[in-house]
Structure 1
Amino acid sequence: MAATEWPAMASEPVSRRRALALLGLGGMVMAAGGVSWMSCAAGEPGGGGALAQPQLLTSRDGLLEVTLTAAPGTQLAGRKSSAWAYNGASPGPTLRVKAGDLLRVKLVNNIDQPTNLHTHGLHVSPQANSDNPFVTVAPGSSFDYTIAVPADHPPGTYWYHPHHHGTVADQIFAGLAGALLVQNGPDLPVDDDISLLVTDITLDGAGNVIPPNPMARMAGREGELVLVNGQYQPVVTASPGTAQRWRIINGCVSRVLDLRLEGHRLTQIALDGVFLPAPAQHDRLVLAPGNRADLLVRPADSGRYALISEPYDRGGLGMMGDMMNGGPAARGPVTLATLHSRGPAATPPPLPATLPAPPVPPDTVTARRQITFAMGMGMGFTIDGRSFDPDRDDQRVQLDTIEEWAIVNSSTMDHPFHLHAWPFHVLTPPGTSPAAVRQDVVLVPAGGSVRLRIPFTDFAGRSVYHCHILDHEDLGMMATVNVSA
């Protein structure tokens, strides 16, 4: 579709403005900052085009050397936007490396905020110019990252995005994200291998990103426009009897994806980039922000089948907060994409009986800790009663030890827990063996807890753990861990 201007905006319905005035909030904009283009008279954006894959940059002879320039200006849903992009595209290019490769990234900052780069899910060094969340790249400057991928790193689906504390949510919401693939997995019976990076955003009639108001930040913003690879409701084409690998990445700031595919069960082969022991069948699959899932999609008949995210209730802040945010429970199902299967009916290839899941860490646990996520009045988001301080060591851990952490959520909202650099296994239920899959994001329900087994192996250094509702992380729900020999 040729680029067009965003349509003019319709006026805000009086009923919503009146409702806010009755609450004494008439001077505040809505969570989306006013009526967005999704409410405009010109209707919804153009959708239904063929799903496009981002530019693919692949390593050669053990090296991938790229420049990523963060700057405003890109196309979203086929229209001009001032959203932010890497190398002019949102999502940015897909980076594909092999285990044992060296990834060199020159990050050029042409936006008006400090930024940096996080290779989400990679088990790599958090120090120096590797996956270091404490790096700051000032506007108008650049930084050279060198990331050594271990020779035994699990193949799979990862992603990259900014991680400058205080502006993480703003920058990802504005469009800065991309897929990162580690290759050399097992041969799978697939005819196509595609990435589906799901993001959401809210834009005004001119294509400008609308910032959230304070209440929306507290709840965790959810954009009105949900995109897959920067496209609105794209179409994935397949033939009956074939199989496709779908690498689904939840790149949303706060939105939880509750996925289903019409006419099909979801055949999952990996979570957070790492293979399961065997394919798992689901009617629905929940992905928290930051989670990834690899699916084998195997149509047997012709037809059109929507990939849908159902509303997910992740808790709230009470009546006023839920009204201000428009809350996910108030919205209906969202169609992300459509599978269009064309041709005569045919039997799909068989599923693999087993998959190469990494081994479960042993139970030689050296320490146990409790980590408590909490929310208070006045926009207070804390871990163990404290807001983030980059100069404070919140946890000190001995290198090459295994610990168990109990993550307790004392709040009224779900919080996805994410740990940089050192993936973990979830012990479900408490006191049993760990789940046989490695993760780096786990959803901790409101008023609930999860127990994790974490091998702090291979790399020393300081990094962070935090809530992956990224507005909550920016508001202080992050802490440091210092791993030393």
Structure 2
Amino acid sequence: MPLIETGRPPRIDRRQFILLMGVGAAAAATGCQSAPVAVIAEKYPEPEQIVSKNGVLSAAVTVTRQPVDIGGRQIVGTVYNGAFVGPTLRLRPGERLELAVTNNLPEMTNIHFHGLHVSPSGISDNVFIMIHQGQTQNYVVEIPENHPSGTFWYHTHAHPYTEKQVFGGLAALLIVDGLTEKLPPELRGIEERTVVLKDFQAVNGAILTDNIDSNAPTTRTVNGAINPSLEIEAGETQLWRLANIGADIYYQVQLDGHQFHVLTVDGNPVWRVDSKDSIVMPPGTRFDVLVQGGEPGDHVFRTLAYDQQGDQYPEAPLATLTVVQSSRTPAAIPARVVAPYDLSTTTVDNARTITFAKDQATGHFMIDGTMYDEARIDQQVELGAVEDWTIKNQDKQQHPFHIHVNDFQVMSINGVPYDAVSFQDTVNVPAFGETVIRIPFRDFTGKFVYHCHILNHADKGMMANVEVV
């Protein structure tokens, strides 16, 4: 039966709470019966971190289907190294990632390093590699010296199993360090929080692998915990790494009584720091933000009700922040992180139109009227070109567009000029609307994909190939 989000639980103390989870309507449909279950989270969890040494991050992950702890319960998921939120990989620009991936699933899997500007060929960020049952694939990814510093992530990209595997848990963070070094001295060395947003639905003690309904009741988690508690002192500044690494659903995050001061968008440091009351996060997006402790007391970090125009997502608590009384003076928020690299006045070499649509009769999702074909080259681009892509959405629901390898600048949405503050790798395309993006295809040749990052849609055809030559 689905584990359904409930309201905020009564607070026991700053380190412990009890959340009663009800039984979903699907229980009757599946013949399941269950009483409410007490879930205890003692503290705000942080995923395991694996950090580079001497210029190399050497790590191994094993992919299994096994019971894992989620909110104090043992639930079967599809995971890296036995955890619902796999290990965070942490390295610096100019370093090398060596990752061995062993597949113990009955179906194939692989790895995509989401948002990294690295080679899509060979044994780097190559989503056409498939790791079959019992096999180990050794990936080697060279991070360029000038790579942006921020929050990225890695996840399976094995078509057409991507949704079920990411939904089961095959997704974790990858951090390219150096962001805080770009901040004023008083903001270096501040406490960091990873805020990994994932949801799950479980039947008979296992996360769903088939017929996943993104509009069904779902349990939201932060770092694999259900409504965990964390603290900040009044006036203290923390760096929160917000990442929506779930398979399908949107978040609109808000922290009661506080603002998010945005330092990066999809791992790209901003040339203007904006302060937001809430942030819409389609699947795949990340924001590194500063949070400053405000009024002492408890404040709910939540996702607001959001109308995706296909799905309806209710408001739900994500975590509880306790602000502790302090005499600290808040640090000044910087006006920018990096100098502008705006492409607004750049010469455009080519323009293309990409159309997203759904076949209502079959349920298939298409790009330019066709479903995904791995063997087909849908777009061919010359290395070094700067192109404008108009992403048209002919569907009644929103679609987040994502492209591998080369990030882009958003130029306009529904004809209205967009005031970009950085590059990004994912952008929401409105229902029956259009978004224009400007992409510099630099540094790397090879074949890679662009797609809707609602992974159910990508698995059902809304993906295409681009080759840089």
Comparing 82-91 with 184-193, greater Cα deviation is found at: 184-193
The alignment status of 1:280 with 2:263, answered yes or no, reads no
Task: Map 1:167-316 onto structure 2 (within 5 A).
Answer: 167-185=161-179, 186-187=182-183, 189=187, 191-205=190-204, 207-213=205-211, 216=213, 220=214, 224-316=218-310
Find the partner of 1:78 among 65, 68, 72: 72
State how 1:85-100 maps to structure 2 within 5 Å: 85-100=79-94
Partner Cα distance (1:384, 1:195) in 2 = 37
Cα offset, 1:301, TM superposition: 2.7
Please tell me whether the aligned partners of residues 239 and 299 of structure 1 are also in contact (alpha carbons under 8 angstroms): yes
Give the Cα–Cα distance (whole angstroms) in 2 for the partners of residues 433 and 444 of structure 1.
13
Q: Which residue of 1 aligns with 2:372?
A: 388
Q: 2:353 aligns with which of 370, 373, 377?
A: 370
The residue identity in structure 2 corresponding to 1:178 is A
CA gap 1:397/1:302 in 2 versus in 1, 3 angstroms? same
Please say if residues 12 and 35 of structure 1, whose CA atoms lie closer than 8 Å, have aligned partners that are also in contact: no
Matched with 2:332 is: 350
- Contact 1:464-1:478 at 8 Å conserved across structures: yes
Q: Deviation at 1:384? A: 0.1
Q: Mind listing any 5+ residue stretches in structure 2 that lack a counterpart? A: 1-19
Contact 2:57 2:98 in 1 (8 A): yes
Deviates more, 1:336-345 or 1:442-451: 336-345
Query: Could you list the per-position Cα deviations for residues 54-82 of structure 1 after superposition, in whole angstroms to 9, with x for gaps in the alignment?
Result: 11111111100110111122211122121
- Measure the CA separation in 1 of the matches of 2:377 and 2:217: 34
Amino acid at match of 2:139: Y
Q: Distance in 1 between matches of 2:446 and 2:335?
A: 39
Q: CA deviation at 1:345?
A: 5.2
Amino acid paired to 2:447:
R
Within the candidate set 405, 424, 429, 1:439 is matched to 424
After the TM superposition, which of the residue ranges 455-464 and 60-69 deviates more from structure 2?
A: 60-69
Of 270-279 and 453-462, the range deviating more from structure 2: 270-279
- Identical pairs, percent: 34
Residue 52 of structure 1 is matched in structure 2 by 45
Aligned length: 441
SS in 2 for 1:353: coil
Relative distance call for 1:253 and 1:44 in structure 2 (3 A) is: farther
The one of 430, 436, 449 equivalent to 1:464 is 449
State how far apart, in whole Å, the 2-side matches of 1:473 and 1:212 are. 15
Go from structure 1 to structure 2 and tell me whether the alpha carbon gap of 1:105 and 1:358 turns closer, same or farther (over 3 Å shift): farther
Aligned partners of 1:68 and 1:105 also within 8 Å: yes
Candidates 420, 423, 426, aligned match of 2:407: 423
Q: More displaced, 384-393 or 234-243?
A: 234-243
Inter-CA distance 236–8: structure 2 relative to 1 (3 Å threshold)? closer
Q: Which amino acid aligns with 1:258?
A: Q
Does the CA-based 8 Å contact 2:388-2:439 persist in structure 1?
yes
**In structure 1, C-alpha distance between the alignment counterparts of 2:330 and 2:94, rounded to whole Å:** 34
> What is the CA-CA distance between 1:184 and the residue it aligns to?
1.6
Whole-Å separation in 1 of the counterparts to 2:301 and 2:416: 36
**How far off its partner does 1:212 sit?**
4.6
Give the TM-score taking structure 1 as reference length.
0.86
Q: Give yes or no for contact 1:234–1:338 (8 Å, CA) kept in 2.
A: yes
CA contact (8 A) 1:71 1:84 kept: yes
Q: Is the alpha carbon distance of 1:106 and 1:413 closer, same or farther for their aligned partners in structure 2, counting shifts above 3 Å? A: same
Give distance in 2, aligned partners of 1:301 and 1:346. Answer: 12
Q: Report the secondary structure of 1:442's partner residue.
A: strand
CA distance in 2, matches of 1:370, 1:11: 43
Aligned equivalent of 1:410? 394
RMSD: 2.2
For residue 469 of structure 1, what is the amino acid of its counterpart? I
Q: CA deviation at 1:431?
A: 8.1
What is the alpha-carbon distance in structure 2 between the residues aligned to residue 115 and residue 294 of structure 1? 29
- Amino acid across the alignment from 1:354: R
Residue 107 (structure 1) aligns with:
101
Task: Provide Cα deviations, 1:121-142, integer angstroms capped at 9, x if missing partner.
Answer: 0000000111011110001111
Q: 1:8 to 1:454 in 2, by over 3 A?
A: closer
Tell me how far apart the structure 1 counterparts of residues 135 and 217 of structure 2 sit (CA, whole Å): 30
CA distance in 2, matches of 1:154, 1:8: 41
Counterpart position of 1:454: 439
Higher mean C-alpha displacement, 347-356 vs 460-469: 347-356
- Pick one of 448, 461, 467 that aligns with 1:476: 461
CA pair 446-344 structure 1, distance change in 2 beyond 3 A: same
Cα pair distance change 1:44/1:424, threshold 3 Å: farther
Unpaired stretches in structure 1, ≥5 consecutive residues: 1-6, 18-28, 317-326
The 3-state SS of whatever aligns with 1:128 is coil
Distance in 2, matches of 1:235 and 1:292, equals 21
Displacement of 1:347 in angstroms is 3.0
Name the aligned partner's letter for residue 333 of structure 2.
Answer: L
Specify the SS of the correspondent of 1:436.
coil
TM-score, normalised by the number of residues in structure 2: 0.89
Amino acid at match of 2:353: Q
8 Å contact kept, 2:257–2:294: no
